[in-house]
Amino acid sequence: EVQLVESGGGLVQPGGSLRLSCAASGFTVSSNYISWVRQAPGKGLEWVSVIYSGGSTYYADSVKGRFTISRDSSKNMLYLQMNSLRAEDTAVYYCAKTVGATHIDYWGQGTLVTVSS
Amino acid sequence: QSALTQPASVSGSPGQSITISCTGTSSDVAGYNYVSWYQQHPGKAPKLMIYDVSNRPSGVSNRFSGSKSGNTASLTISGLQAEDEADYYCSSYTSSSTVVFGGGTKLTVL
């Protein structure tokens, strides 16, 4: 059974950093495309980033240069390093197994990141 | 990376059909047959309903169907049921190798 479990969310001050983790089971992270998608409170879904099976990475303009997606094949884990955080980054962050970089077939339960002083 | 355009809300009575539109550009919806639709109930993670414009994942009711014409994709739900009340989001692959979502549509079953 495919499962994705995010962790690492919390309260952080503007300008601060946070690293989100996503533990995957039931499939191999390094053989798949994995995305991060976020949802601000009461708002819609926003695509954040994707890492391809081959290692290529892509980012939304809103986070480019501040966020870094990575994976650890030995642990079957995915990460999102978030730097220079802003209030507008406040959201629930979902880790998601992605098919061919085009659609998401499995989602985690999400982890809440709050950027506030 | 502008969001795809969806109506903020749609409504229908049980048994009726509704259609939600999703308008993009030549760099996303019109350029690729990679439009997906997701259903999200309050407090829950989204669920894939349609992928690659018109394909249904295993387990999704055949009351859900998708189509595309030019830069506009559509999700149609027939035989509306109370459990269909949720938020619906479209998404598309883009020419920048990114993905863009629509703003979301709240479906109310009257």
- For residue range A78-115, list pLDDT tens digits in order: 999 999 999 999 999 999 999 987 899 999 999 999 99
Tell me the one-letter amino acid at A39: Q
Task: Give me the pLDDT at residue A101, please.
Answer: 79
Predicted confidence pLDDT, tens digits, chain B (110 residues)? 789 999 999 999 999 999 999 999 999 999 999 999 999 999 999 999 999 999 999 999 999 999 999 999 999 999 999 999 999 999 999 999 999 999 999 999 99
Task: Give me the pLDDT at residue A100, please.
Answer: 85
β partners of residue B74: B21, B67
Task: Give me the pLDDT at residue B18, please.
Answer: 97
Q: What angle (nearest 5°) sits at the alpha carbon of residue B70, between those of residues B64 and B73? A: 20
Taking CB atoms and an 8 Å limit, are A45 and B101 in contact across chains? Answer: yes
| Digit-coded pLDDT (tens) for B50-71 | 999 999 999 999 999 999 999 9
| Digit-coded pLDDT (tens) for A60-83 | 999 999 999 999 999 999 999 999
Q: How many helices (H) and strands (E) does chain B have?
A: 0, 9
| Digit-coded pLDDT (tens) for A39-52 | 999 999 999 999 99
Chain B hits for A61, CB-CB cut-off 8 Å, are 1
Q: Which of A22, A45, A63, A92 to mutate to test the interface with B (most CBs of B within 10 A)?
A: A45
DSSP type of residue A113: E
Give the whole-angstrom CA distance, residue B39 versus residue B108: 13
Label the pairing between strands B105-109 and B86-93. antiparallel
Q: How far is A109 from chain B (nearest CA, A)?
A: 6
Chain B hits for A37, CB-CB cut-off 8 Å, are 101
Taking CB atoms and an 8 Å limit, are A101 and B99 in contact across chains? Answer: yes
| Cβ–Cβ contact B97 with A under 8 A | yes
Taking CB atoms and an 8 Å limit, are B97 and A94 in contact across chains? Answer: no
Which residue from B46, B47, B51 is facing A45, i.e. has the nearest CB?
B46
Task: Give me the pLDDT at residue A42, please.
Answer: 95
Task: Give me the pLDDT at residue B2, please.
Answer: 87
Which residue from B34, B57, B97 is facing A58, i.e. has the nearest CB?
B97
Q: How far is B20 from chain A (nearest CA, A)?
A: 16
Which of these, A99, A104, A52, A34, lies nearest to B37 by C-alpha position?
A: A104
User: How far is CA B21 from each of CA A19, A60, B14, B81, rounded to the nearest angstrom?
Assistant: 36, 23, 20, 19
Taking CB atoms and an 8 Å limit, are B46 and A99 in contact across chains? Answer: no
Q: How far is A83 from chain B (nearest CA, A)?
A: 21
Give the whole-angstrom CA distance, residue A28 versus residue A21: 15
Q: How far is A46 from chain B (nearest CA, A)?
A: 6
φ, ψ for residue A88, nearest 5 deg: -75, -5
